[in-house]
Chain A
Amino acid sequence: MLVSILASGLAAGAIYALVGVTYNTMFSTSRVMSFTAGQLAMLGGVLGSMFTLKMGMPIIVGFVLTLAACAIVGVITEFVAVRPVLKSLDQHLYVLSTLALALMIQQIAAIKWGTEPQPFPRVFGLGSGIWDEKFWLPVVACAVTIVALEYLYRRTLVGRAFVAIAEDNFAARALGLPERNLRVASYALAGVIGGIAGFSGGQLLLAFFANGALLNFYGFVPVALGGLGNNRGAIFGGLALGLFQQAANFLVGGIFSSVAVFTLFIVVLLAAPQGLFGGTTARRV
């Protein structure tokens, strides 16, 4: 049982972690938590299944097209739901605009794709039992994404510009960085990461429109645990959440595992609103 918990827990955790990183990537350049993060991952599954199974494309082509489509949805998020409300002093507006867009994406998926979960193809066709690719694929995808992001942030000028904007948007603007373009780029990047989460987790979660809302929540928990914008925190938080959830699933049953996750989420948030991995409070006066 322990190995099953480990295998499924790490797999689910890796998906949650990737959705958490999707949240963070959008947050870093815009200070906006977007409800579209989970929907991007949902689209990763649904579009991946559509391109490869329904339209019969080769896996690699379907994968690239899925990521491209998700990147476009990310950019649409920036243009439609983020840019217009960024200037507003009213902080809650982005919650509403991204929620509206997320609902629209989910409804289109439900109507165009159907409301029943549908299968996702095998990608490599490797492994069985607890070594089935549906378990290790998300973990590998998560690891590869992290390495790629580390490379981006540490070795490229664009990546450092992201870091700079995340730390001090005003100083970055004063320095003459093309802040707006970089923000659009970060939303495209977030789309790609969300797409990877959905595609790699397709076999585990299936192609299902309602995954969007689910992943919105389960992807946000690691962000809340790890602190906004903290990718390392999101990864640890995601994996811990996956293991906790699957352990609860095996020990007390599926329904109560959601209750356990929710309770954990609320308790942690109330005890440490800034996340377990630090962060700062804004000055109020």
Chain B
Amino acid sequence: MLTSAAEPLLSVRALESGYGKIRVLHGIDFQVAAGEVVALLGPNGAGKTTMLRALSGLLPVTAGQVRFDGRDMTNATPRDAARAGLVHVIEGHRVFTQISVTDNLLLAGYDVPRAERAERVEEALAYFPEIAEKRHERGGALSGGQQQMLTVAQGLVRRPRLLMLDEPSAGLSPVLVDRVLNVIGRLRAQGTAVLLVEQLLEKALATADRVYALVQGNIVLEASTDESNLAQRLERAYFGHESHALVTP
């Protein structure tokens, strides 16, 4: 699936973003190659969600550049991003509760030609047999874990080049977490890149090829998951024993 060896699928340079006056990201440099699974780690409030939102156009980029698949996607609308294959599954399993599971998926394919829509929905449902069984039920009738699967399935309807998942494991039982993360493995096998924001450190390290650690809006660590003593290095990056310690007067 590699389009060109020179340019990664997603490359982010000196990205700054935030909410109104509050700047959360202070110049992020970041890359994801085609077909690669990258985990974005970091403590609460570090700016992980902000970063995904800035990439998918849900938040304005105030400085820096986002390139995706060889095109400039800085401040593209969420719709343009999704059309280009940069698909964002937001946190908190926010499915539409009033309409059926199938309708939730059809909506994800709103831009897809009508003829192809049903096929795409089936394709996405194939990843999650247990929500395929409930396709006629309202989104609100699903359990939290099933809703989370549904949001991932919504993302898959788009046939993404890069799927960004924001805390897909939040609030799920360990069994379900494995089920959702398992899908990531299958996607990688098909050449889909995944950018994963994840709280469960061990799971994230097991799933991803590479990790970035984000602390206070800055990337403080980038490593391949097969490097040794990664957990200790992350702990140090988070708690700032060295790099960010305050000078105690």
Contacts and interface: CB of A to CB of B under 8 A. Distances in A.
Interface stretch (B99-107, B167-175, B176-184): B99-107
A168 interface: yes
B158 A176 contact: yes
B99 A174 contact: no
A149 to B, nearest CB: 14
B102 to A, nearest CB: 10
B61 to A, nearest CB: 16
B81 A164 contact: no
B110 A178 contact: yes
Contacts of B72: none
Nearest to A175: B108
Interface stretch (B8-16, B89-97, B185-193, B206-214): B89-97
B150 to A, nearest CB: 11
Given A160-B107, A175-B108, A176-B78, A167 B88 contact: no
B110 A177 contact: yes
A164 B96 contact: yes
Nearest to B106: A157
B90 A170 contact: yes
A163 B99 contact: yes
B244 interface: no
Contacts of A147: none
Given A167-B98, A170-B94, A176-B111, A160 B154 contact: no
B97 A177 contact: no
Contacts of B103: 157, 160
Contact of B78 (A157, A160, A174): A174
Contacts of A174: 56, 58, 78, 88-90
Contact of A168 (B81, B96, B106): B96
Contact of B97 (A167, A172, A175, A176): A167
Interface residues of A, number: 16
B233 interface: no
B134 interface: no
A177 B96 contact: no
A122 interface: no
B78 A173 contact: yes
Contact of B79 (A157, A160, A161, A176): A176
Nearest to A176: B82
B154 to A, nearest CB: 6
B94 A171 contact: yes
Given A164-B96, A168-B94, A173 B58 contact: yes
B83 interface: yes
Contacts of A163: 96, 98-99
A164 B79 contact: no
Contacts of B107: 157, 160-161, 164, 172, 175, 177
Interface in A201-215: none
A27 to B, nearest CB: 15
Contacts of A177: 79, 107, 110
B159 to A, nearest CB: 13
A172 B94 CA distance: 9
Nearest to B97: A167
A277 to B, nearest CB: 15
B83 to A, nearest CB: 7
Interface string A176-199: 111000000000000000000000
Contacts of A178: 79, 110-111
B56 A160 contact: no
Interface in B41-70: 56, 58
A163 B56 CA distance: 23
Contacts of B154: 175
B140 to A, nearest CB: 10
Contact of B99 (A164, A173, A175): A164
* 10 A-B pairs with least C-beta separation: A176-B82, A171-B94, A176-B79, A164-B96, A174-B90, A160-B103, A160-B99, A173-B78, A167-B96, A163-B98
Interface of B: 56, 58, 78-79, 81-83, 87-90, 94-99, 103, 106-108, 110-111, 154, 158
Given A172-B107, A176-B158, 15 more contacts: A157-B103, A160-B99, A161-B110, A167-B96, A168-B94, A171-B90, A173-B78, A174-B56, A174-B88, A174-B89, A176-B78, A176-B82, A177-B107, A178-B79, A178-B111
25 contacts: A160-B99, A160-B103, A163-B96, A163-B98, A163-B99, A164-B96, A167-B96, A168-B94, A168-B96, A170-B58, A171-B94, A171-B96, A172-B96, A172-B107, A173-B78, A174-B56, A174-B58, A174-B90, A175-B107, A175-B108, A175-B154, A176-B78, A176-B108, A177-B79, A177-B110
